[in-house]
A = this chain, B = another copy of it.
Amino acid sequence: MRDIANKIGVSSVTVSKALNDKDGVSEELKDKIKQLAADMGYRFNSVARSMKDGLSYNIGVVIPERFAGANQFYLHFYEHLSKVLDNHKYYGILQILNVYDEEQLVLPRIYHEKKVDGFIILGQISKPYMELLQQADVPFLFLDFYTDDVDIDAIISDNFYGMYEMTNYLIKQGHDKIAFVGNIYSTSSIQDRFLGYYKSILEHHLQLQEDYVIPDRDRRGTFVDLQLPKDMPTAFVCNCDRVAYILSNKLKEHGYRIPEDCSVVGFDNDIYSTIADPQLTTVEVNVEEMSQAAVKSIIEKVKNPKHTIGRLMVKGRIIHRQSVSAVKQPHSL
């Protein structure tokens, strides 16, 4: 292509400079060159640029299989990431990490073929896979989860305080029998949300009954049947909207009215919170801001592999809907 542009009698160097608006070419020449390029339908070849500076300008977004599919939340997240990447002249390549590859510790082909300059890992992966990544020769960061290893950069929503504030809110509404729904050993997010809930419980000197922590899934993430406590709580704090939705249906089946008989709250503000009847009060995850932060950080790390951001928390906020009501006889303090 560039040769053809030479047909106005300049070298390819000059054309390159003109098209990239670099110094060392007169304005008139630049305009003339740009004009001709447009007329000729010239398209820049980003591959050649990549060849030169060793950067693909692609970022791999890795979503473990179990979080994709039914759970559209991460796909929605990916959509945001892809837009933000675009704004930074980068592109996202989605990589669903299947169970087999995760267990067998095989890195995706986009790694082996140097298709990407870095990875955003969206959704908790196994410990051994984390170690595999660390040995690999590519920058990466965790999005929406983290690990106890402080050296790994992670961007997470503020699960702890989000749930802490949500539980505080319920207690202010007079609730004192509050259950938590979620397997507290399955992901760091769920665990932190539980701990935020627990902090609120402790601060208010409430009792944490054993059967008030209700597992929602097994270790592999498969949902299990929810066991309602014998002594019914007045409020359920669910680790995510989807489970809150499932719980709502179950409660209604058992003849409980929401929010009159018990309140239900979720987390994420995803589709399930608006689909539930009544709609769920929940904590909104700031996907937009998290995406911005993730993209900025990974690009920074591509430029400077030593760059580190540590653990970045992004605040959410409570969205009030119809699934919470004050307790009839407020608890006396």
Query: How many subunits of this chain does the assembly comprise?
Result: 2
Q: How far is the CA of A260 from the CA of B275 in the complex (A)?
A: 23
A137 within 8 A of B: yes
**Across the interface, do A82 and B111 meet the contact criterion of CB distance under 8 Å?**
no
Q: How far is the CB of A124 from chain B (nearest CB, A)?
A: 18
Give chain B residues whose Cβ lies under 8 Å from the Cβ of A69: 76, 79
Q: Interface centre among A41, A46, A68, A92, by most B CB within 10 Å?
A: A46
Q: Who on chain B is nearest to A245 by CB?
A: B275
Q: How far is the CA of A109 from the CA of B46 in the complex (A)?
A: 10
Q: How far is the CA of A91 from the CA of B51 in the complex (A)?
A: 18
A304 within 8 A of B: no
Give chain B residues whose Cβ lies under 8 Å from the Cβ of A16: none
Q: Who on chain B is nearest to A137 by CB?
A: B41
Within 8 A of B (CB), among A254-278: 271, 275, 277
Q: How far is the CB of A77 from chain B (nearest CB, A)?
A: 10
Give chain B residues whose Cβ lies under 8 Å from the Cβ of A45: 113-114
Q: How far is the CB of A134 from chain B (nearest CB, A)?
A: 14
Give chain B residues whose Cβ lies under 8 Å from the Cβ of A76: 69, 72, 75
Q: How far is the CA of A111 from the CA of B110 in the complex (A)?
A: 21
**Across the interface, do B110 and A72 meet the contact criterion of CB distance under 8 Å?**
no
Binary flags per residue of A100-116, CB closer than 8 Å to B gives 1, else 0: 00000000011111110
**Across the interface, do A91 and B115 meet the contact criterion of CB distance under 8 Å?**
yes
Give the number of chain A interface residues (Cβ < 8 Å).
40
Q: Who on chain B is nearest to A107 by CB?
A: B43
Within 8 A of B (CB), among A175-203: none
Q: How far is the CA of A56 from the CA of B109 in the complex (A)?
A: 15
Given the interface pairs A94-B82, A109-B86, the reply to whether A47 lies near B56 with Cβ below 8 Å is yes
A44 within 8 A of B: yes
**Across the interface, do B46 and A48 meet the contact criterion of CB distance under 8 Å?**
no
Give chain B residues whose Cβ lies under 8 Å from the Cβ of A44: 112-114
12 A-B Cβ contacts within 8 A?
Answer: A43-B112, A43-B114, A44-B113, A46-B115, A50-B50, A72-B75, A83-B96, A86-B109, A91-B93, A91-B115, A92-B93, A94-B94
Which residues of chain A have a CB within 8 Å of any CB of chain B?
A: 41, 43-48, 50-51, 56, 58, 68-70, 72, 75-76, 78-79, 82-83, 86, 89, 91-96, 109-115, 137, 271, 275, 277
